[in-house]
Amino acid sequence: MAETAEQDQIMEPQEAPQVELDRYSKEELHRFLGEMLFYRRFEEKAEEAYAIGKIGGFCHLHIGQEAVALGMIGPLREDDYVITAYRDHTQGLAKGADPGAVMAELYGRDTGTSRGKGGSMHIFDVEKGFMGGHGIVGAQVPLAAGMGFAIRYREEDRVCVCFMGDAAVNQGAFHEALNMAAIWKLPVIFVVENNEYGMGTAFSRVSALPVVDRARGLGVRAHHVDAQDIVRTHAFMEDLVEEVRGGAGPQYVDARTYRFKGHSMSDPVSGTYRSTEEVESRKKEQDPIGVLRDRLMEAELLTEEELEELDKEARARAQEAADWAEEQPDPDPSELYTHVYAEENEHGRLYFDGRDREED
Ligand X SMILES: Cc1ncc(C[n+]2csc(CCOP(=O)(O)OP(=O)(O)O)c2C)c(N)n1
| Contact residues: ligand X, CB under 6 A | 87, 135-137, 165-168, 193, 195, 197-199, 263
CA distance 153 to 304: 51
Tell me whether residue 199 or residue 209 sits nearer to ligand X (CB atom): 199
- Closer residue to ligand X, CB minimum distance, 80 or 166: 166
> Shortest approach of Mg ion to residue 192 CB, angstroms?
8
Please state, in angstroms and as integers, the Cα–Cα distance from residue 92 to each residue in 4, 97, 223, 329, following that order.
41, 5, 24, 22
What's the closest the beta carbon of residue 196 comes to ligand X, in angstroms?
Answer: 8
Residue 94 interacts with, from ligand X, Mg ion, none (CB under 5-8 Å by kind): none
Instruction: Return the number of the residue (197 or 252) whose C-beta is nearest ligand X.
Output: 197
- What's the DSSP call for residue 332? P
- For the bound state, the minimum distance from the C-beta of residue 153 to ligand X, rounded and expressed in Å, comes to 28
Residue 55: what are its φ and ψ, rounded to 5°? -115, 135
Closest to Mg ion by CB, 195 vs 233, is 195
Spatial separation of the C-alpha atoms in residues 103 and 111, rounded to whole Å: 10
Closer of 87 and 282 to ligand X (Cβ)? 87
Binder of residue 87, out of ligand X, Mg ion, none (CB less than 5 to 8 A by kind): ligand X
For Mg ion, the binding residue among 91, 113, 195, 328 (CB under 5 A) is 195
> Are 195 and 256 within 8 A, CB to CB?
no
Partner interacting with residue 199 (select from Mg ion, ligand X, none; CB below 5-8 Å by kind): ligand X
- Minimum Å gap between C-beta 264 and ligand X is 8
The secondary structure of residue 12, as a DSSP letter, is S
Residue range at the interface with Mg ion (CB under 5 A); choices 81-89, 196-204, 325-333, 335-343: 196-204
Closest residue to ligand X in the complex (CB): 165
Position 133 contacts Mg ion (CB under 5 A): no
- Tell me phi and psi for residue 280, to 5 degrees: -65, -40
| Closest to 159 measured CA to CA, from 104, 241, 99, 78 | 241
What is the rounded CA–CA span in Å between residue 263 and residue 270?
10
Going by C-beta distance under 8 Å and a sequence separation of 6 or more, which residues neighbour residue 120? 46, 55, 57, 58, 59, 60, 86, 88, 89, 105, 106
Query: Closest approach of Cβ 228 to Mg ion, in Å?
Result: 15
Task: With CA atoms as reference, report the closest residue to 40 among 261, 237, 279, 360.
Answer: 261
Decide: 197 and 274 in contact? Cβ < 8 Å.
yes
Burial class (CB in 10 A: 0-12, 13-18, 19+), 193: buried
Q: Which of the listed partners (ligand X, Mg ion, none) does 299 bind, with a CB threshold of 5 to 8 Å by partner kind? A: none
Query: Whose Cβ is closer to ligand X: residue 118's or residue 165's?
Result: 165
Q: Do 132 and 125 form a contact (C-beta atoms < 8 A)?
A: no
User: Looking at beta carbons only, is 197 or 236 nearer to ligand X?
Assistant: 197
Q: How far is the CB of 197 from ligand X (least distance, A)?
A: 6
Q: Which does 263 bind (CB under 5 to 8 A by kind): Mg ion, ligand X, none?
A: ligand X
Verify binding: residue 166, Mg ion, rule CB under 5 A: yes
Least distance (Å) from Mg ion to the CB of residue 22? 34
Binding site for Mg ion (CB under 5 A): 165-166, 195, 198
